[in-house]
């Protein structure tokens, strides 16, 4: 009880309360604008949060992270365009409801499901906090190294069909982290005698380039679309009552979100599709899914909003981010010399609980704001793409320059912006680069510390937690390799069946063509002989 009271005291500060309100409302606005998303907003705000207290800066970023998915459902439902990438599944059942004249019901149901998912995950994690506090001290240098390695592997494996390029991009991120002076003997690595590379490649510069500047390029090169919005009539409280009629779907979807959020590299997409698939298979009306099913909308929105709080577990307990957004938040910890990991749970447990309570309050604020302000909020969908692109580009370069007052950083950010733009156009992931930079630094430091007591290779996994993590890595790699081999076998079989059917079709068509030509030849010869007989009779 004393821990909760101490956390509430932290949140009662005026600057923390203002940051929470700003982050929650700002996140909804950002999520409601198609083409922006939380990653762009957090990247732009990162330099500003470095001058704030850790709790204030993290509260702003958490507010944007947690509330953007609420806002992202607005354009997904009204104009079939997801505000954020994770709201893509919302369009499956949300937009069909709009087309049949039920936009208010769809929005209300999405808000209610998101609220339930967010509250469910925060309550679970507050209850599990004592357990995490006991487990965290079991992780030493070797365990954290293996956990970081597992995080990178899971990120690579999660990009099914693109695992090779995801691995290459993760290695590129690890390489970027090695540029500059190494942390022990301060020898230069890959600087090529260039003074500006001695300090390394700044993570924030890469983040702003890959996410913010690249997205600005995308918006500047795209055409503005005329958006027609459906008028909303009536109240927005209908969804709360309808959600109560589907407790099983909401509970299972929220559970998927919590479990998937705690696994690095998995995140919202896996949680959404697993919960959506479960809801469809267990529904009494599976044919309605994709055509305006309330159960499908609940499954999608509950799962994706249960992830943000759960994604903070590996970040706070081990200092290992599971995705790009939590990797950005990790930099706020480092700037203020607050090291996430076992020590944070042992020494600053009130700080951890304050963050979870902030997420709890955030969901209440966002739901209240949306229930009363949606009719005015939907107008942000009309903002032109090119105007957004110019604003994002300007704010990005201002943020980069404010880091170290360096024009070189602006140039590097522009280069990574072009790289990010190319990756977006080729539909390739940019998240592995960021996680490679963050986790690569953690792996290097922990490997150096862990190897001091290792004499033989098996000494590295001689402790229970390290051995379990090693087994998980082996299992994940084995399953992935088997899945790749299975996919290749199925692809070859499909190609062979296609070739076989095309060959059969060709033979069949050839026979039909020959038969047609023979019949046609007989017809022509018959006509000629008939014509000759008539000419003979005339003569």
pLDDT tens string 143-164: 888 888 888 888 788 777 788 8
Structure tokens, 134: 């006991």
Greatest mean pLDDT among 124-128, 278-282, 477-481 lies in: 477-481
| Residues forming a β-bridge with 456 | none
Which residue's structure tokens are 């009363």? Answer: 372
390-418, pLDDT tens digit by residue?
888 888 888 888 777 788 888 988 999 99
Average pLDDT score, the chain: 78
In terms of C-beta distances under 8 Å and separation of at least 24 residues, what long-range contacts does 447-452 make, across chains too? Answer: 447/141, 447/145, 448/184, 449/141, 450/140, 450/141, 450/142, 450/145
pLDDT above 90 as % of the chain = 3
Residue 538 has pLDDT above 50, yes or no: no
Which residue's structure tokens are 């290992």? Answer: 320
CB burial of residue 244 (10 Å; 0-12, 13-18, 19+):
exposed
Phi, psi of 330, deg, nearest 5: -60, -35
pTM of the model: 0.73
């Amino acid at each position: 009880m004393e821990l909760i009271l101490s956390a509430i005291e932290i949140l009662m500060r005026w600057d923390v309360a203002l940051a929470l309100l700003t982050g929650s409302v700002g996140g909804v606005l950002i999520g409601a604008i198609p083409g922006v998303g939380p990653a762009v907003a957090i990247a732009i705000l990162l330099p500003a949060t470095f001058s704030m207290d850790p709790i204030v800066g993290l509260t702003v970023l958490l507010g944007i992270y947690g509330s953007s998915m609420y806002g992202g459902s607005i354009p997904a439902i009204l104009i079939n365009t997801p505000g954020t990438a994770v709201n893509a599944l919302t369009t499956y059942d949300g937009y069909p409801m709009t087309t049949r004249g039920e936009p208010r019901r769809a929005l209300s149901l999405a808000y209610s499901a998101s609220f339930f998912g967010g509250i469910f995950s925060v309550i679970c994690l507050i209850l599990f906090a004592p357990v995490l506090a006991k487990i965290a001290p079991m992780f030493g240098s070797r365990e954290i190294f293996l956990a970081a390695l597992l995080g990178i592997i899971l990120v690579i494996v999660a990009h099914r069909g693109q695992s090779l390029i995801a691995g290459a991009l993760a290695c590129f991120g690890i390489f970027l982290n090695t540029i500059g002076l190494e942390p022990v003997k301060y020898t230069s690595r890959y600087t090529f005698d260039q003074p500006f590379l001695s300090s390394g490649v700044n993570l924030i510069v890469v983040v702003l380039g890959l996410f913010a500047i690249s997205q600005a390029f995308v918006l500047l090169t795209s055409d503005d679309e005329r958006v027609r919005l459906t008028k909303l009539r009536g109240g927005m409280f209908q969804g709360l009552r309808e959600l109560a009629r589907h407790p099983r779907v909401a509970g299972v979807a929220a559970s998927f979100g919590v479990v998937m959020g705690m696994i690095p590299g998995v995140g919202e997409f896996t949680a959404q599709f697993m919960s959506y698939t479960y809801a469809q298979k267990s529904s009494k009306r599976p044919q309605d899914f994709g055509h305006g099913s309330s159960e499908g909308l609940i499954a999608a929105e509950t799962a994706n909003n249960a992830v943000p709080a759960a994604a903070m577990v590996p970040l706070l307990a081990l200092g290992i981010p599971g995705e790009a957004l939590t990797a950005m938040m990790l930099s706020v910890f480092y700037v203020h010399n607050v090291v996430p990991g076992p020590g944070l749970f042992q020494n600053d447990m009130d700080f951890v609980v304050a963050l979870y309570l902030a997420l709890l309050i955030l969901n209440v604020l966002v739901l209240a704001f949306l229930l009363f302000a949606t009719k005015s909020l939907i107008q942000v969908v009309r903002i032109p793409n090119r105007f957004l692109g110019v604003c994002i580009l300007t704010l990005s370069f201002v943020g980069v320059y404010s880091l170290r007052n360096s024009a070189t950083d602006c140039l590097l950010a522009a280069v990574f912006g072009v790289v990010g733009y190319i990756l977006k156009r080729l539909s390739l992931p940019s998240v592995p680069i960021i996680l490679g930079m963050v986790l690569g630094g953690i792996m290097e430091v922990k490997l150096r510390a862990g190897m001091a007591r290792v004499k033989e290779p098996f000494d590295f996994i001689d402790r229970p937690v390290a051995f379990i993590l090693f087994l998980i890595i082996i299992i994940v790699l084995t399953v992935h390799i088997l899945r790749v081999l299975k996919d290749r076998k199925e692809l070859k079989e499909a190609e062979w069946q296609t070739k076989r059917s095309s060959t059969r079709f060709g033979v069949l068509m050839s026979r039909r063509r020959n038969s047609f030509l023979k019949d046609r030849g007989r017809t022509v010869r018959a006509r000629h002989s008939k014509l000759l007989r008539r000419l003979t009779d005339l003569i």
